[in-house]
Structure 1
């Protein structure tokens, strides 16, 4: 009978141990999903949003110089602003881009190249013919605006993934508690139960 009692105890403890390991593995997976989502929100959305903001400021600086026909800007500061934009582009390319983002970002880079050529034409016209340059600046700003909207949509999507993972963690925690209560009762029954001896 002593052996039978030991087997009951070992089986009871083994059941609890297996349950705890299983729920910990599930929780680990869900926590990993939450962590990945938070990292993606920071790296691929917040940083990208900041880069878009900086590129927009640089484009706005160019736009103000065009409106003011600022020859001093185009003879010096313009190269620095263009280099800043190029640096921001390289940093933006390091973020994880969606298919829609890649398409808009490609159009943005194409419009920037056209903008550079139009700036040369503007300088050669002695800062008189502003219309083509303003039109190209508007196209670039529209691309940046579209990229900015994508950051919001993708950020919401990542938050939704995090919320689903957290809900899953809460569900499994509740299930784990109910199973532990059931096992505790079952172990008590096994330990207290004494079969009739013949």
Structure 2
């Protein structure tokens, strides 16, 4: 019944080869999918965190500069012009920051920041103490927003690391199965060789 064994081997070989092809395709899909996910995660880190942090840093810098102007021994007209320019810069940066992707905690703080900045910019230069107090409040809120950015960035990086490890483990698992299938096919090749009839020198019948 060697022919049944050979047919069985051919069926197993065909299924194994088909499985091998499917696994290669699955492995390729998993790799591309995880690569895209990691890419999107890194993109989120840049677009939603680093850019937002840049706006926060620039607003903080502008507020510090206004404090320096208020504390400088200049005339009121010079201070008004200088602070007016800085106020415009702050308003532009805040408007751009508000358009970034914000978490619930950030939205609450961002609204508080806008209110404080409006009060800060509406306060007359003659009311230096009140303006300086509003500036300190704005800086405190900006610092809290910066801390939130840092925490969110850490979470994004942790997510990216998990995605990377998940993709690595999946690829290793698929690779291990491919190796097993190749070993099975190799064993079948050796087994089929042992079943081949050997040529023997048959004695000639003498008449």
Using the TM superposition, give the Cα deviation of residue 74 of structure 1 relative to its aligned residue in structure 2, in angstroms: 3.3
TM-score, normalised with respect to structure 1 = 0.85
How is 1:156-171 mapped onto 2 (pairs within 5 angstroms)?
Answer: 156-171=154-169
Contact 1:5 1:191 in 2 (8 A): no
1:42 and 2:46 matched: yes
2:97 to 81, 92, 95: 92
Relative contact order (alpha carbons < 8 A, sep ≥ 6): 1 or 2 greater?
1
State the Cα deviation string for residues 113-157 of structure 1 (Å, max 9, x = none).
Answer: 111221x2x3xxxx3x42211111111001110111111111111
Q: Tell me the residue number matched to 2:183.
A: 185
Distance 1:142 1:190 in 2: 73
Q: 5+ unaligned residues in a row in structure 1: which ranges?
A: none
Spell out, residue by residue over 1:39-95, the C-alpha distance to the aligned partner (whole angstroms, 9 max, x if none): 111111111111111111111111111222642443312222111111111221232
Range 161-170 or range 71-80, more displaced: 71-80
Structure 1 residue 106 corresponds to structure 2 residue 111: yes
State the TM-score, normalizing by the size of structure 2: 0.82
Question: Which of 16, 33, 48 pairs up with 1:12?
Answer: 16
Greater Rg by CA:
2
> What is the RMSD of the two structures over their aligned residues, measured on CA atoms?
2.3
In structure 1, the residue matched to 2:79 is 74
Q: 1:54 aligns with which of 48, 54, 58?
A: 58
Q: State the match for 2:201 in structure 1.
A: none
Q: Alignment length, in residue pairs?
A: 190
